[in-house]
């Protein structure tokens, strides 16, 4: 009788993420090297490969969740990670295109513990670099996938970016009239769910899966993405910048993230007091921000956000077929679930 050693999810997830990085990085670096200067250097800085002068560094270059979803879905569909390297690189390029633009739109000055690209080179270059990464994603798919698969993958990627733009627009314009729990879920599906769903879909396409199978795995990724965004919104109020790599500043910006929307909809005394905080127009003090965070929690905003994340996690888990190859996807879902707690 063979006894299989128990691998704790945290250790197994690290192995899955490391595998994705190994598969992805050569393709990603080759794509970035095709950029003209100074975009090549700016991209290297953004990915953590060099400093602003171009000197090599060993900084953080992302957690690799999206590429890991690509490679793990390929495995679940009977493929091998190497076949999904181009799709993983394309998804990571699109993700970083959105990060560069998000940093500009949100005025975020720090990512992964150092100044964002727009803080170093200015808004115009950050926007242009994001556009270049978007174009590179399409080029990579066209270069590495068989023609029929590349056409399907590029079409899906283009639709995903359009949906993400819609979600980002709604996030940027989520004022009092638009900020509802239902509106937040629609926004989160576009802003975050669409790309995680696309990651899984491209992994399935890379492995030669049929249309029905691609749809199943896309549904898994979309629900995982909404759960991820709910967790991101929780971290945006109560997160530790030492772990997230950026300040937890949603209340300072009076951004109506999920816990805040739920608190404002709660019909509680704390929610009504919180509403006055959001009606104010002067920059809040540190004490006012701390008080607002307490009010959000008292009004049930944090509990409600955690509950919605659990619901979406259950929907994602229920979507996965009962086959051994899905084990790595379940581990990645556990990783997102643990992050949200």
pLDDT digits (tens, 9 = 90+) for 24-75: 999 999 999 999 999 999 999 999 999 999 999 986 667 899 999 999 999 9
Domain boundaries in the chain?
9-339
Q: Is the dihedral of CA 227, 231, 232, 236 positive or negative?
A: positive
pLDDT for the residue 248? 60
Separation of alpha carbons 123 and 104, rounded Å: 7
Q: What is the mean pLDDT of the chain?
A: 91
Q: Assign 1 a pLDDT band (cuts: 50, 70, 90).
A: very low
Q: What CATH class does 9-339 carry?
A: mainly alpha
Beta-sheet strands, E only, within 105-247: 110-111, 114-115
Confidence band, pLDDT 50/70/90 cuts, at residue 4:
very low
Is pLDDT of 3 > 50?
no
Phi, psi of 38 (to 5 degrees): -90, 5
In the prediction, which pLDDT does 232 show?
92
d(CA 330, CA 191): 22
The model's confidence at residue 239, banded by pLDDT at 50, 70 and 90, is confident
Residue 178 has pLDDT above 90, yes or no: no
* Whether this model's pTM surpasses 0.85: yes
Instruction: Tell me: pLDDT of 23 over 80.
Output: yes
């Amino acid at each position: 009788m063979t006894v299989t050693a128990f691998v704790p999810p945290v250790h197994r997830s690290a192995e899955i993420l490391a595998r994705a990085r190994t598969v992805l990085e050569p393709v990603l670096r080759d794509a970035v090297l095709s950029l003209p200067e100074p975009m090549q250097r700016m991209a290297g800085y953004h990915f953590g490969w060099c400093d602003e002068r171009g000197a090599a560094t060993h900084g953080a270059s992302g957690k690799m969740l999206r590429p890991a979803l690509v490679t793990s879905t390929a495995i679940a569909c009977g493929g091998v990670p190497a076949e999904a390297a181009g799709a993983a690189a394309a998804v990571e390029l699109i993700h970083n295109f959105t990060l560069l633009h998000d940093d500009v739109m949100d005025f975020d000055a720090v990512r992964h513990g150092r100044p964002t690209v727009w803080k170093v080179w200015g808004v115009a270059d950050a926007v242009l670099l994001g556009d270049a990464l978007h174009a590179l994603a399409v080029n990579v798919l066209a270069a590495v996938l068989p023609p029929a698969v590349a056409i399907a993958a590029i079409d899906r990627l283009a639709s995903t970016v359009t949906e993400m733009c819609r979600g980002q627009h709604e996030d940027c314009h989520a004022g009092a009239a638009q900020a509802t729990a239902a509106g937040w879920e629609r926004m989160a599906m576009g802003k975050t769910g669409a790309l995680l769903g696309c990651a899984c879909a491209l992994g399935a396409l890379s492995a030669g899966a049929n249309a029905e199978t691609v749809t199943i795995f896309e549904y898994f990724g979309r629900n995982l993405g909404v759960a991820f965004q709910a967790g991101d919104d929780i971290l945006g109020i109560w997160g530790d910048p030492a772990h997230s790599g950026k300040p937890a500043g949603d209340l300072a910006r009076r951004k109506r993230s999920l816990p805040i929307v739920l608190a404002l909809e709660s019909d509680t005394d704390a929610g009504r007091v919180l509403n006055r905080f959001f009606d104010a127009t002067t920059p809040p003090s540190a004490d006012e921000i701390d008080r607002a965070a307490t009010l959000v929690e008292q009004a049930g905003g944090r509990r409600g956000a955690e509950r919605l994340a659990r619901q979406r996690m259950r929907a994602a888990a229920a979507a996965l077929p009962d086959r051994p190859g899905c084990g790595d996807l379940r581990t990645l879902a556990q990783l997102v679930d643990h992050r949200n707690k």
